[in-house]
Each structure stands twice: as structure tokens, then as C-alpha cells.
Amino acid sequence: MSYLIDGNNVMAQRVGWHRDKPGARRGLMDELAEFARLLLSRGAKTITGEEEHPISGKEAAPVIDQHAWLDPKNGMVYVKNIAQALERSDPANAADYRARAAAYIKQLQTVDAWMRTEMATLPAAKRRVIASHDSLQYLAKACGITLISINGWTNKSEPSAAELARLAQQIEAEHVHALFLDSITDPRAMERIAKETQATIAGTLYGDSLSRPGGEADTYILMLRHDVATLKAGMLKN
């Protein structure tokens, strides 16, 4: 759960990935969020863990992946929900909120159309990647990319010989030559995999965080553009 707070509103981004433990005491922020009755992601199209592609082959839990904003169509839903909440809270400025939301949604529509055009130039057989974290499934699905994540068996320990062998076989079978790091994930496991399989680390992707101010992905829209451009450049090697 994440929150955005001003003097009159509590906005909660919650799509179900982190479940509350049974019997757990509710905190003040949870009470405020319930009172506000605004979920930024309400209406977003979500995917579940079992729809994703963990490299370990283990069955994923049937819970919702929380990274819905990485599909720009969902980003448009977030913008609409925020604008509507602000309109209700501050009706005197409702027209301004609607205008600003419409302008930002137009930017997201432009990015959405651009990324689909970019991906359309790649044969479907090349649209396969392996990433160090599973946060990018929404973007991958929006772009028609099969993304296989190693997260879950390499984040806290070195991959076993059997896991490394299975990954090497998959890289060869899928003709995947580009591996991608995630901006918040320890790169050492992926660097080892690249060394062992002769694949190439094709760049760093952003999903859970932006870059530093002034960096390559320091806004939501720049993050989407950076990720798509980086993915495309890497997949051209497949």
C-alpha cells in the first residue's frame, strides 16, 4: 500500500499484492485510506502472479501484481481517479483539475501509441527477454513481450547449478541474448548468469523507482520511454 496525502485527501495505491495478515491491527494510515474511499488503481486492468513467467518453474501465487502503472493505459486510470477525487474535494477548481488531467492523459496516449509502434517493428520471435525482477510484466504485456523473471530464486541467494543449467537451456532454446537489470535489484546474480551463458546485459530498466533527478528516467513518462527504448535495443540482438 502506498499513499499520497494533502490537507483534504488520502489517496491509496493498492492492487492486492501485499495482503494484510489475518488478525493484524489496522494502522492509522489504513483507517484514513478507508475513510477516503479512493483507490488510485480502481478500474485498472490487473494481472496475477500465476499469469507471469518465473524462470524457476514454480507455480506463482494467485495474487495481483501491484505494478499496474507500468501499462500506460492503467496510468490513465490513475490520473482519472486522482482528478475525480480532487474535484470532489475542491469543486471550485474542478475545471482546472479536469483540464490538467486531460492534458496528462493525452501525453500518456501519445506514449502508449509510440511504444506499440516501436514494438510493431520487431518480429514476435524477437520479443522475448529475461529480467532480474518481475515488476515489468505490465509493460511487457502491453508491448507484446514475453518476459521471464529470475526474481524469486536469485534475489537472496546464488542460483543453484541446476537452476543455472535450466536458465542456460532456456536462453538457448528461446534465442534470448539480452538480459536486463532492474534499478532496485542487486545485479550480481544477473551478471553471473550473463557470464555463464554468454548472454549480454542490455541495460537497466525502471519499474519500482525513477532515476535520480536529471537522469534518464526521472519522470513517469520518461521512465516508460526509457524502458521501451532499452528493451527494443536489447531485443534486436535476439
Tell me how crowded residue 58 is: count the other CB atoms within 10 A of its CB: 9
**Of 184, 126, 125, 189, nearest in space to 154 by CA:** 189
- Taken in order of first residue, the domains within the chain and their CATH numbers are 2-96 (no CATH), 121-235 (3.40.50.1980)
The per-residue pLDDT for 154 is 39
Instruction: Give pTM, 2 decimals.
Output: 0.78
| Torsional sign, CA 116, 122, 125, 130 | negative
Beta bridge partners of 179: 130, 201
Q: Are 68 and 74 in contact (CB under 8 A)?
A: yes
The rounded distance, in Å, linking the Cα atoms of 91 and 88 is 6
* CA-wise closest residue to 35 among 67, 72, 9: 9
pLDDT tens for the 238 residues of the chain, in order:
444 444 444 455 554 444 444 444 445 555 444 434 457 778 889 887 654 455 545 555 557 778 889 999 999 999 999 899 889 889 999 999 999 999 999 999 999 999 999 999 999 989 998 888 777 889 999 999 998 877 643 344 555 667 767 777 777 777 788 899 888 777 877 888 888 777 889 999 998 889 999 999 999 999 999 999 999 999 998 8
Count of residues in the chain: 238
- For residues 17 and 48, give the distance between their C-alpha atoms in angstroms, rounded to a whole number: 9
d(CA 32, CA 12): 9
Residue 25's contacts (CB-CB under 8 Å, 6 or more residues apart) are none
Q: Is the dihedral of CA 175, 138, 231, 181 positive or negative?
A: negative
